[in-house]
Amino acid sequence: MNAQGMSMGHMRIAGKERRSHRRHDLDTMGITVQRWDPSRKSGRSLGRIVDLSAGGVRIRTDASGVKPEAQIRVRMELPAFAGISPFVETQGDELAAKRQWVGWMSVTRVQKIGAEMEISGRLVDMNEMDRSMLGLYLSTQPLAA
């Protein structure tokens, strides 16, 4: 805990910020997230990223039937930016930059926004190297409101 009585993993700005990771606005980039099928090594579009943090993602979609507490296997592919790749390949003898991540999203909130649905969730099985690189990558992107 710090001097204000808050745990170090949570920030509180003017009494409103509760997140462990800062959210970054990627809505204008049109980056899609796929619902991933590992047996087929393929995916189908789940929606587009509204904002992203090193701990979670918010997606706009026309998909229905997603409920809070659902576990969804997702694939994200982010463009390299400012010479920084968002993820790291740790298989093999040497580390290598990579642009995609496949893992589990734990849905925490589903909300209707006009004709679309907004799905928010935690990226639950991201390794610490990828989470750190994603945080560095996102530090070059605009913050979300």
- pLDDT, tens digit, for every residue of 50-67? 999 999 999 999 988 899
| 10 belongs to a structural domain | no
| 143 belongs to a structural domain | no
Average pLDDT, the chain: 85
Q: Tokens at residue 11, please? A: 């920030």
The CATH number that applies at residue 94 is 2.40.10.220
Domain span at residue 66 reads 24-138
Q: Tokens at residue 52, please? A: 């992203």
From CA 104, how far away is CA 137, in angstroms rounded?
A: 20
**Counted domains in the chain:** 1
This prediction's pTM: 0.79
- pLDDT, tens digit, for every residue of 21-33? 677 888 889 999 9
| 38 belongs to a structural domain | yes
Distance of CA 78 to the CA centre of its chain: 10
How many Å from the N-terminal Cα to the C-terminal Cα in the chain? 26
| 92 belongs to a structural domain | yes
Angle at 134 between CA 31 and CA 96, to 5 degrees: 100
